[in-house]
Amino acid sequence: MKTIAVSIRTTVALMIIILAYQLVVTGIAQAVMPDKADGSLIYNDKHEVIGSKWIGQNFTSPGYFHGRISSIEYNAVSSGTPNYAPSNPDMLERTKASVEAWKSENPGIPVSELPVDLITNSGSGLDPHISVEAAQVQIPRISKSTGISEEQLKELVAKHTQERELGVLGERVVNVLLLNIDVQKTVNGK
């Protein structure tokens, strides 16, 4: 009986410690970086959530920049992606389909100029970024579809280009959602 009482007290004490820890960490995050603590949400003019800076979205319209392929359809409930070898038949078929889609959507851009990040998954399947090259190669299609000049689109890509972390880590990238929001504003004349 004594062992059961000790077990119960220990369980209750650990539950209180864990709850207190979560409250302290959440409080610190809210105080120090509230935007990130709340998911880095992006709102429209009506104050409706339209996305997060950290989770990609599937853009298929020719008038928008397209992001990376996501095997999980950017569903943040469960991140991850199949870890296929380059010789896997499913991977080969998906890649061939992606290349064919590229050719039909971007007839003026040869496949040799197709950046690999536009036909491959990120490790999480949620990546909201593409390389600067992947954004730039889509400019002719978007210009033709929206009527926005290629020069204006190049300026938007430059505006949304995020430099390397600490100047040396990672690659220069573009957040597709933030870029497409500006494309839509430009089309709407805002």
The predicted-structure confidence for 94-119, as pLDDT tens digits, reads as follows 889 999 999 999 988 999 999 999 98
Name the band, by pLDDT with cuts 50, 70 and 90, for residue 129.
very high
**Number of domain units in the chain:** 2
Arithmetic mean of pLDDT, 65-82: 82
Please tell me the predicted confidence (pLDDT) of residue 132.
96
Residue 95 shares a structural domain with residue 185: yes
pLDDT in the model for residue 121:
82
For residues 142 and 176, membership in a common domain is answered with yes
Residues 135-142: contacts with CB within 8 Å, 24+ apart? 135/65, 135/160, 135/161, 135/174, 135/176, 135/179, 137/106, 137/109, 137/113, 138/65, 138/66, 138/106, 140/106, 140/108, 140/109, 141/62, 141/105, 141/106, 141/109, 142/62, 142/63, 142/64, 142/65, 142/183
- Whether 13 is covered by a domain: the verdict is yes
Residue 44 within any structural domain of the chain: no
* Same domain flag for 119 and 60: yes
Q: Are residues 58 and 29 both part of a single domain? A: no
* Same domain as 132, residue 79: yes
Assess if residue 43 is contained within a domain: no
Q: Does the pLDDT value for residue 37 go beyond 70?
A: yes
pLDDT of 124 reads 81
Mean pLDDT of 51-61: 90
Tell me if 12 is assigned to some domain.
yes
pTM score of the predicted model: 0.80
**The predicted structure's pLDDT at residue 12:** 96
Range of the domain at 115: 49-189
Confidence of residue 83 (pLDDT cuts 50, 70, 90): confident
Strand partners, 173: 131, 162
Q: Are 71 and 84 in contact (CB under 8 A)?
A: no
Asked if residue 7 is part of any domain, the answer here is yes
In the predicted structure, residue 123 carries a pLDDT above the cut 80? no
Do residue 31 and residue 57 come from a single domain? no
Are 25 and 53 part of one and the same domain? no
pLDDT value, residue 16: 96
Query: In this structure, is residue 69 part of a structural domain?
Result: yes
Q: Are residues 71 and 34 in the same domain?
A: no
Task: Tell me: do 84 and 130 sit in the same domain.
Answer: yes
For residue 92, is it within any domain?
yes
Residue 79 in this model has a pLDDT that exceeds 80: no
Burial (CB count <10 Å: 0-12, 13-18, 19+), residue 65: buried
Cite the DSSP H helix spans in the chain: 2-32, 34-37, 89-105, 132-136, 139-146, 150-159, 176-188
pLDDT reported for residue 190: 67
The whole-number pLDDT of residue 112 equals 92
Instruction: Specify whether 85 is located in the same domain as 11.
Output: no
Mark whether 120 and 71 lie in a shared domain. Answer: yes
Whether residue 123 is contained in a domain is answered as yes
